[in-house]
């Protein structure tokens, strides 16, 4: 059976995948970039299912430096920088995985504007998105 690595800060995606994608995938879950990389070093995956927002994650586990982001983008405002990193965390983790050589298909459940999705594809290769938890559509995208 193919392996699906779910990357999220809660359990909504994993619960969904175990209920609706279990015929196609063995599901494992990582809650941060470092955990995903550790798991992938131990055993590869065939596809990734990403959450985008990580507003429940411990700030110390996020990809990105809050202080540097605050200085670079938000005039030193750490609160806004943290929210930015939380809101974009799935994409930032994807960047980390791609940098480490993990090129598997990645699917987000998020209503991205088309221009943003095109940008993600340009940067990170096989990236797709669906606006809702549609198991049939997600399964098809993960299997490309």
Partner 1 sequence: MKGADRSKLAARLAHDVGKYVARAARNMPPRGATPAMVAMLATDLYSLAGGRRASAVLAELAGPFGEGDERLATARSLLEEADRLEDRLRAAEPAAVERGRAIALEVQSLVLDFARMVASR
Interacting residues with partner 1 (CB under 8 A)? 10, 12, 15-16, 19-20, 52-53, 56, 109-111, 113, 131-136
Nearest CB to partner 1, comparing residues 39 and 135:
135
- Nearest CA-CA partner of 104 in 11, 57, 56, 39: 39
Q: How far is the CB of 134 from partner 1 (least distance, A)?
A: 5
Nearest CB to partner 1, comparing residues 59 and 125:
59
Cα 113 from Cα 70, distance rounded (Å): 25
Strand partners, 29: 6
Q: How far is the CB of 32 from partner 1 (least distance, A)?
A: 17
Q: How far is the CB of 100 from partner 1 (least distance, A)?
A: 27
Enter the DSSP assignment of 22.
T
Nearest CB to partner 1, comparing residues 38 and 136:
136
Chain CA centroid to CA 132, Å? 15
Q: What are phi and psi of 4, to 5 degrees?
A: -115, 125
């Amino acid at each position: 059976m193919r392996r699906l690595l779910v990357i999220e800060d809660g359990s909504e995606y994993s619960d969904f995948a175990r209920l609706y994608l279990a015929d196609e995938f063995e599901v494992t879950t990582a809650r941060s970039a470092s955990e995903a990389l550790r798991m992938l070093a131990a055993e590869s995956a065939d596809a990734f299912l990403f959450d985008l927002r990580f507003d429940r994650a411990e700030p110390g586990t996020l990809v990105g430096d809050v202080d540097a982001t605050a200085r670079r983008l938000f005039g030193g405002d750490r609160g806004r920088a943290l929210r930015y990193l939380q809101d974009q965390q799935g994409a930032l983790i994807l960047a980390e995985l791609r940098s480490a050589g993990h090129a598997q298909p990645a699917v987000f459940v998020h209503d991205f504007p088309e221009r943003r999705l095109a940008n993600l594809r340009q940067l990170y290769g096989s990236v797709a998105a669906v606006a809702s938890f549609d198991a049939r559509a997600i399964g098809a995208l993960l299997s490309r």
